[in-house]
Structure 1
Amino acid sequence: MTEYDEAIKLTGPDDQGRYTGTLSDDWAIGGAVNGGLLMSLATAATAACSTSADGHADPLTYSGVFLSPGTAGEITAYPQILRTGRSMTTAEVRTTQRVDGIEVERSRALLTLGDLDRYAEPVLKSEPAPDMPGPEDCPSAADAPPTPLTGSGFLKRFDLRLDPATVGWAIGRPSGKGEMRGWLKLADERDFDATSLLMALDAFPPVSFDLGSQGWVPTVEFTGYVRAVPAPGWLCMRLSTSTVTGGLLEEDAQIWDSTGRLVAHSRQLASARFPS
């Protein structure tokens, strides 16, 4: 079993429809388990619930909020099917952890599930992948100087390489353009699937770093779309932002697979701190 499959492994459902898993510091940044992994785990529970109820398995949309940081330890997912039609299933899912004997909610989301193959063709319009050097010509995050970010367990789970044209922030020279590009693979060589694409959408360093932000950049709200099951190989990613006011910014992420097909995209509202 790969590291990722182990991280989202679930047992259940129990007699109350709950699924349980275990979060690990191996997927944490700064003491909190990455929200992308939490989204993938919640989606896996929802897909299992959906298919057991004669619903659909592939995530098409995920719209959620993070209510408190996930930490290492047992986590419970509560998926609920709201409606199942011929082509799509709508569901809600909550995740919780017990803290000092009290159940604390970590995330809540609405999902649309379906069959991605049904919507794969024809492609009438799609944004092309950005023009940038290949992975072999992009610096690896593994070669960066030690920092709380590069030393995190989460980043070690990936082979992440950044376009040299958008990596100035890593050496204290943010461009101010609010754009980041690069390549992504899982370190254990597992290929991405529809569910893990949600994690990939939240795997890059925050685009606010290219604007000079410092410290943790928590997500306020996240909406992601999965458009196709990715082909094996590297994912190409681009992050950008166009509006930053009062410490809030939107972060748009796009993912193309190794064939150049756009397979996922998202927008999140995030909070960031900038030098005064």
Structure 2
Amino acid sequence: MSEFDRDIAVNKNGVDTYAAELAPGWVVGGGVNGGYLLAVVASALRQHLPTKPDPITMSATYASASTPGPAEVRIDVRRDGRSLATAIAELWQGDDLRLTVLATYGDLAALHAAGEPLEHVTAVPPDLPPREQCLAASLAPDRMRRTAPMLERFDMLFHPEQVGWAVGAPTEQGRISAWYRLADGREPDPLSLLQVIDALPPVTFDFGMPGWAPTLELTCHVRHRPAPGWLQVVHATRHLAGGMFEEDCEVWDSAGRLVAQGRQLARLPRVR
């Protein structure tokens, strides 16, 4: 079992409930990474809906910061149809609600096989240089690595023209892109894509605002089962206001397909 699969594993402990153990390796700033938490919930939903193994869309509202340790996923299936199922899932730690998720599940392979072959995409992959010309997250300052242990969980190679924030010279374009893969070599799948959409540093870094940016709401659309190999990921924002910012994400696989899209609303990092 890969490290990622071990960390998102759940065990059924009731009719509609699953026990989980949130791993300390996914901590960033003041809590556990929101994309990882979404993958934990998705793992429970996959087990609960065995004929519909793939998240199609998941929308999560984060009620409070999670901490490493025991947790429970509670599932309420609202409709289980022929090709799609809709469910509400909550992640709890003791008496504390951590997040609520509205999810639609299905079988991506079956949906693509049943649909028309037409696929029209106007989005284009990020213009990333070859990996050997990009900058590894392992070169991040020690202070950043201490506050974000999850950087050890994956390999991330940044576009060299978008890391000015690391040396005090942010571009202020609100865009960060990188190559990505899990550190243990596990190939990507629909569940791991849920973590990928929240893996890069917040785009507020590119405005000279480093630090933890707590997610308030995160929505992910999974469009394809990704091909093996490195992923290309881009995060961008167009609007910072009211102490919050939106962050759009695209994930492209090694076959050049747009495999996942995400949007989140997050709090701006605290200015110290």
Output the TM-score relative to the length of structure 2.
Answer: 0.94
**1:148 match: secondary structure:** helix
Residue 26 of structure 1 aligns with which residue? 25
Q: Counterpart amino acid of 1:188?
A: D
Q: Counterpart amino acid of 1:9?
A: A
**1:36 match: secondary structure:** helix
Q: Percent identity?
A: 39
Q: Of 246, 252, 258, which residue of structure 2 is paired with 1:256?
A: 252
Computed over aligned residues only, the root mean square deviation of the Cα atoms, in angstroms, reads 1.6
Matches for 1:82-231 after TM superposition, within 5 Å? 82-98=78-94, 103-120=95-112, 121-149=117-145, 152-231=148-227
Determine the C-alpha separation between the residues in 2 that align with 1:40 and 1:169: 29
Structure 1 residues 232, 126: closer, same or farther in 2, change over 3 A?
farther
Task: Tell me how far 1:119 sits from its aligned partner.
Answer: 3.8
How many residue pairs are counted as aligned between the two chains?
A: 268
Task: Tell me how far 1:214 sits from its aligned partner.
Answer: 3.2
Q: Is the CA contact 2:55–2:105 (under 8 Å) kept in the aligned structure 1?
A: yes
**2:64 match: secondary structure:** coil
Structure 1 residues 150, 104: closer, same or farther in 2, change over 3 A?
same
Residue 41 of structure 1 aligns with which residue? 40
**2:109 match: secondary structure:** helix
Task: Tell me how far 1:10 sits from its aligned partner.
Answer: 1.0
Determine the C-alpha separation between the residues in 1 that align with 2:256 and 2:192: 18
**2:25 match: secondary structure:** helix
Q: Deviation digits for residues 65-85 of structure 1, max 9, x if unmatched?
A: 111111111110011211011
Q: Counterpart amino acid of 1:70?
A: S
**1:4 match: secondary structure:** helix
Q: Is 1:58 the counterpart of 2:54 in the alignment?
A: yes
Structure 1 residues 127, 119: closer, same or farther in 2, change over 3 A?
farther
Residue 76 of structure 2 aligns with which residue? 80
Output the TM-score relative to the length of structure 1.
Answer: 0.93
Determine the C-alpha separation between the residues in 1 that align with 2:269 and 2:20: 33
Q: Is the CA contact 1:30–1:149 (under 8 Å) kept in the aligned structure 2?
A: no
Task: Tell me how far 1:151 sits from its aligned partner.
Answer: 5.6
After superposing on structure 2, the runs of 4+ consecutive aligned residues of structure 1 that deviate more than 6 Å are none
Q: Which runs of 5+ in 2 are unaligned?
A: none
Q: Is the CA contact 2:29–2:147 (under 8 Å) kept in the aligned structure 1?
A: no
Residue 4 of structure 1 aligns with which residue? 4
Determine the C-alpha separation between the residues in 1 that align with 2:76 and 2:181: 32
Determine the C-alpha separation between the residues in 2 that align with 1:207 and 1:43: 25
Determine the C-alpha separation between the residues in 1 that align with 2:75 and 2:43: 10
Q: Deviation digits for residues 37-74 of structure 1, max 9, x if unmatched?
A: 110010110121122xxx52210001011111111111
Determine the C-alpha separation between the residues in 2 that align with 1:2 and 1:31: 26
Task: Tell me how far 1:145 sits from its aligned partner.
Answer: 2.1
Q: Counterpart amino acid of 1:125?
A: V
Q: Which runs of 5+ in 1 are unaligned?
A: none
Determine the C-alpha separation between the residues in 2 that align with 1:8 and 1:158: 15
Q: Deviation digits for residues 144-170 of structure 1, max 9, x if unmatched?
A: 221234663211001011000111111
Task: Tell me how far 1:32 sits from its aligned partner.
Answer: 1.6
Structure 1 residues 150, 169: closer, same or farther in 2, change over 3 A?
farther
